Chain A
C-alpha cells in the first residue's frame, strides 16, 4: 500500500483571485470542466466519498432544463467542524465552486443548506454572497445562490433527507434509486456536494486535474481538511495530504499516550494502537469526512461507545425499524452487559444486530452505526464489559 507520510497542504484556505478562476471556468465547455474533475480523482469530502466527476457527469447528462446545485453545509458528524471554518474563512470559494458546478451541469440555481447551529455565520455569509452575485453578473454568468437553514437534525446531512427538509418536510431519507443526479431537489436533477468538495473543485479548475493528481494516493487523491479534537495538544483544523498512516498522524497530533483514534466521527471507525502503523487514512484504509478524535489511556471506550449510541438513538429519524429499534437496543444492550445483567457473550448478539442494521437500514445513518460499534467492541471488549 502507498504511504505518503504526513505533509501539510494549503489549497482550501489559500486566498485566490476568484474572478480569474471563474473566467477560466466559464471559458471552458461543460465537458472540459467535468473532464478536469474526473481526471483529478476527487472523491466527495463529506464522508461518503462518491467520485465528484461522475456525479457531475451524470447530472450533466440529464436532459431537464431545470437542475440544481446543492451545497451540503449540514455538518453534523461528531468531531467535524471544518466546513464551518471554510465558510467562515473562504465563503467566496464555496460560491465559486457552486457556480463552476452550475456551468458544468447547466444549472442556474444553487442552494446552500446550512445547519442551524451555524446560523451565527449568516450575516457575514450574506455580505460575501452579495459581492459574489455582483461579480458573476459582471462576468456575465447567470447563477443565483440561496441559503436554507437546518433546525438541529443530524439526519438532514443525508442528501435526500436534506432535500425533504428544503422542500418543507420532515428530514426523512428517501428510497434510492432514483439518485439525486436524476431526481433530487424538487424532483429535478441535482448535484449535491459537500462544502469542501466544491472548494476543491474550484482549486482543481485553477491548477488543473493533472496537477491535483500529484497529491495523495491512487485511491485517495489530493488533500483533505481534517478536524482534529480529543486528547491532543493541538486541536484544530489542518489540511493534510491524503495517504498518511494513523501512526504518522498520531506522531504529529497525539499526546504521547494515544490508545485509539476514531476516524470519521461517530459513524466512522475506531482504530486501536496496535493497528496504527498498518492503517492508512483514506479510502484504501479508513475513510473520513475529516473527523479525527484522539483518545488517550485515561478514557473509557465504553463511555465513548455509549455516547455515540445515545447520539444515534436521538438522531435516527425513526422511519425504518432496523435503525430506530436497532440503535435503542444496542444502547440498552451495552448498558446491560456493563451492569452484569447480561452475559458478555451478549455482545456477540449485538454485533449481529449491528451487522443486520448495515444491510437492512434505509440510509447511511443506520448502515454505519455498526462501524463504530464493531470496531470499539472488537478492539476494546474488556473495557465494554468490565
Chain B
C-alpha cells in the first residue's frame, strides 16, 4: 500500500485531464509505485471526471499496469518461443531459488516481483528478461544471479 499524496493531481496538471491523458498518468503512477491501488485509480477518476470503472477497465487491460501489489523491482522473464527454447526454464529456476518466491509472487520485503511475459523483442539474444525498464539478454544462470544481486545491493 502507498499513499499518492499530491502525485495524481500533479500528473493531471502535467499531462492534462482529457481521456487521452489517462494512459500517461497511469503509466507514471506505476513507474513510481510499481502498481495501481484502488485509491489511486479512484483519485485518477476524480481528476479526469470519469468513472472509476473506466479507469479500472482501462488499467486492467494492460499487462504492465498492474492492479495487484508489485515489488520495487519487477522481473519479467520472456516465455515466448525462442527464449523458451534457449533455456527460459533454467532462468526461472535460478530466480525462484535466489528470490525464494514462485512466478507471480512478490518477496516479503517487497523488493522483487517475478513474472513471465510475452515476447519482449530480444529473440536473437535469448533468453532475455526485463527488470523494470531495463532489458537483460543472453542470460545464463550465472549472469542472472549477478544481475539480481546488483539490484539487491542497490
- A interface with B by C-beta (< 8 Å): 75-81, 84, 115-120, 148-154, 165-172, 186, 227-231, 235-237, 266, 293, 299, 303-304, 307-308, 311, 314-315, 317
The answer to whether B81 touches A308, judged by C-beta atoms less than 8 angstroms apart, is yes
> Which of B3-11, B16-24, B97-105, B145-153 forms part of the interface with chain A?
B16-24
How many Å from the CB of A118 to the closest CB on chain B?
Answer: 7
The answer to whether B61 touches A229, judged by C-beta atoms less than 8 angstroms apart, is no
20 residue pairs A–B, Cβ–Cβ below 8 Å: A76-B119, A78-B80, A78-B119, A119-B133, A148-B23, A149-B24, A149-B27, A151-B26, A152-B65, A165-B23, A166-B20, A166-B23, A170-B58, A171-B62, A229-B124, A229-B126, A266-B80, A293-B82, A293-B123, A304-B81
The answer to whether A168 touches B85, judged by C-beta atoms less than 8 angstroms apart, is no
How far apart are the CA atoms of A119 and B134 in the complex, in Å? 8
How many Å from the CB of B78 to the closest CB on chain A?
Answer: 9
For residue B140, CB closer than 8 A to chain A, the reply is no
How far apart are the CA atoms of A117 and B137 in the complex, in Å? 13
Given A80-B121, A120-B134, check contact A230 B82 (CB 8 Å): yes
How many Å from the CB of A340 to the closest CB on chain B?
Answer: 24
Given A168-B22, A293-B81, check contact A151 B64 (CB 8 Å): yes
Residues in A with CB closer than 8 Å to B26 are 151
How many Å from the CB of B29 to the closest CB on chain A?
Answer: 12
The answer to whether A170 touches B134, judged by C-beta atoms less than 8 angstroms apart, is no
The answer to whether B133 touches A79, judged by C-beta atoms less than 8 angstroms apart, is no
Given A119-B133, A235-B125, A311-B80, check contact A152 B62 (CB 8 Å): yes
For residue B120, CB closer than 8 A to chain A, the reply is yes
Given A120-B135, A293-B82, A311-B118, check contact A151 B65 (CB 8 Å): yes
How far apart are the CA atoms of A297 and B58 in the complex, in Å? 43
Q: Which of chain B's residues 21-52 have a Cβ closer than 8 Å to chain A?
A: 21-24, 26-27, 30
Residues in B with CB closer than 8 Å to A79 are 81-82, 119, 123
How many chain B residues sit at the interface, stated as a range, is 35 or more
Residues in A with CB closer than 8 Å to B94 are none
How many Å from the CB of A267 to the closest CB on chain B?
Answer: 12
The answer to whether B133 touches A120, judged by C-beta atoms less than 8 angstroms apart, is yes
Interface centre among A151, A166, A315 (most CB of B within 10 A): A151
The answer to whether B61 touches A153, judged by C-beta atoms less than 8 angstroms apart, is yes
Partner of A151, one of B62, B79, B135: B62
The answer to whether A230 touches B20, judged by C-beta atoms less than 8 angstroms apart, is no
Question: Which residue of chain A has its CB nearest to the CB of B134?
Answer: A120
The answer to whether B23 touches A151, judged by C-beta atoms less than 8 angstroms apart, is yes
The answer to whether B27 touches A311, judged by C-beta atoms less than 8 angstroms apart, is no
For residue B117, CB closer than 8 A to chain A, the reply is yes
Partner of B19, one of A167, A231, A299, A315: A167
* 20 more CB-based (< 8 A) A-B contacts, given A151-B23, A153-B63: A79-B81, A81-B123, A116-B27, A117-B130, A120-B133, A151-B63, A151-B65, A152-B117, A153-B62, A167-B20, A170-B57, A227-B123, A227-B124, A229-B126, A236-B124, A293-B81, A304-B81, A307-B81, A311-B80, A315-B118
Partner of B64, one of A152, A186, A311: A152
Question: Which residue of chain B has its CB nearest to the CB of A262?
Answer: B81
How far apart are the CA atoms of A170 and B23 in the complex, in Å? 10
The answer to whether A81 touches B134, judged by C-beta atoms less than 8 angstroms apart, is no
Interface centre among B82, B121, B126, B134 (most CB of A within 10 A): B121
For residue B107, CB closer than 8 A to chain A, the reply is no
The answer to whether B124 touches A299, judged by C-beta atoms less than 8 angstroms apart, is no
How far apart are the CA atoms of A210 and B121 in the complex, in Å? 34
Residues in A with CB closer than 8 Å to B135 are 117, 120
How far apart are the CA atoms of A253 and B121 in the complex, in Å? 19
Residues in A with CB closer than 8 Å to B118 are 76, 78, 154, 311, 314-315
Residues in B with CB closer than 8 Å to A186 are 20
Residues in A with CB closer than 8 Å to B62 are 150-153, 171
Query: Which 4 A-B pairs have CB atoms at the shortest separation, nearest pair first?
Result: A152-B63, A229-B123, A151-B62, A152-B64
Question: Which residue of chain B has its CB nearest to the CB of A81?
Answer: B121
Residues in A with CB closer than 8 Å to B133 are 119-120
Residues in A with CB closer than 8 Å to B85 are 230-231, 299
The answer to whether A235 touches B80, judged by C-beta atoms less than 8 angstroms apart, is no
The answer to whether A117 touches B19, judged by C-beta atoms less than 8 angstroms apart, is no
Residues in B with CB closer than 8 Å to A230 are 81-82, 85, 123
The answer to whether A118 touches B121, judged by C-beta atoms less than 8 angstroms apart, is yes
Question: Which residue of chain B has its CB nearest to the CB of A229?
Answer: B123
How many Å from the CB of B81 to the closest CB on chain A?
Answer: 5
How far apart are the CA atoms of A56 and B141 in the complex, in Å? 49
The answer to whether B121 touches A117, judged by C-beta atoms less than 8 angstroms apart, is yes
How many Å from the CB of A309 to the closest CB on chain B?
Answer: 11
Given A151-B63, A170-B61, A171-B61, check contact A307 B84 (CB 8 Å): yes
Given A120-B134, A153-B63, check contact A235 B123 (CB 8 Å): yes
Question: Which residue of chain B has its CB nearest to the CB of A299?
Answer: B85
The answer to whether A168 touches B80, judged by C-beta atoms less than 8 angstroms apart, is no
